[in-house]
Amino acid sequence: MKKVIISLFLIGAISLGHSQIKKEIELEPVDLTVKIIHPEYLKEVQKSLAPQEAINLQKAIAAFDVKKMPDFDQKLSFYEVIFKSTKGSVNTFYDGEGKILYALGKFKSVPLPKEIIRKVISENDGWRIIDNKYLTSYEGPTQKASNLYRIYMSNGSERKKLKVSL
């Protein structure tokens, strides 16, 4: 009986280990040319102190042609596409012609630029940064984009929020 139980255990362990083998496939390098379809959006929202996660999604949004989506309908007054990364997302709304009406982005716990860390710490002696969010909004080419960090700080049991606009 003992041999049967040990044999079943070994068979189960071997089959589980075998099913977890990953296969890697090497692909040939491909030259990609990215065509910026919405340069006005990219020009307005990209800031030098923005987190890399936001910059990557903003570039993807600027190159995205919503009219090529299989379920795109020009008759609709707006069309929403959500771009996601591991740290956040940008909800982008397009009109029936494929132009960006507005975009709202929210990123959590992104690496803060050194310039912002220095400024915040020097102006808040004794406080430490515990978390942050990066918020971005674009309301079409007629409005100025808004980009800001919301920084959460603590000093013992005290807490406070700071807003740093870019």
This model's pTM is above 0.85? no
- Lowest-confidence pick of 19-33, 70-84, 96-110: 19-33
The predicted-structure confidence for 61-101, as pLDDT tens digits, reads as follows 999 998 888 888 888 888 889 999 999 999 999 988 999 99
Residue 68 domain-assigned? yes
Residue 33 domain-assigned? no
Residue 99 domain-assigned? yes
Domain with 70 in it = 39-165
pLDDT range class, residue 21, cuts 50, 70, 90: very low
What values do phi and psi take at 22, rounded to 5? Answer: -100, 145
The predicted-structure confidence for 129-165, as pLDDT tens digits, reads as follows 999 999 999 998 788 899 999 999 999 999 999 999 9
Residue 9 domain-assigned? no
Decide: residue 44, CB within 10 A, 0-12 exposed, 13-18 middle, 19+ buried. Answer: buried
Mean pLDDT of the chain: 84
Residue 1 domain-assigned? no
Q: In the β-sheet with 158-165, what is the strand arrangement from edge to edge? A: 79-84, 88-94, 100-108, 128-138, 146-155, 158-165
Q: How many domains does the chain have?
A: 1
Residue 46 domain-assigned? yes
Residue 27 domain-assigned? no
